[in-house]
Amino acid sequence: MGFIGLLIILVLLYILWQRGDINLFGKGNRKTPLEILQERYARGEISEEEYRRRKELLAK
**How many whole angstroms separate alpha carbon 46 and alpha carbon 33?**
14
Mean pLDDT of the chain: 86
pLDDT confidence of residue 23: 67
For the CA atoms of 23, 46, 53, 28, the dihedral, rounded to the nearest 10 degrees, stands at 10
How does DSSP classify residue 33?
H
Per-residue pLDDT tens over the stretch 14-34:
888 777 667 666 666 677 899
User: Of the candidates 24, 48, 11, which has an alpha carbon nearest to the alpha carbon of residue 56?
Assistant: 48
pTM above 0.85, yes or no: no
**How many whole angstroms separate alpha carbon 53 and alpha carbon 2?**
54
Domain map of the chain by residue range?
Answer: 2-59
> What is the three-class DSSP state of 45?
coil
How does DSSP classify residue 28?
T
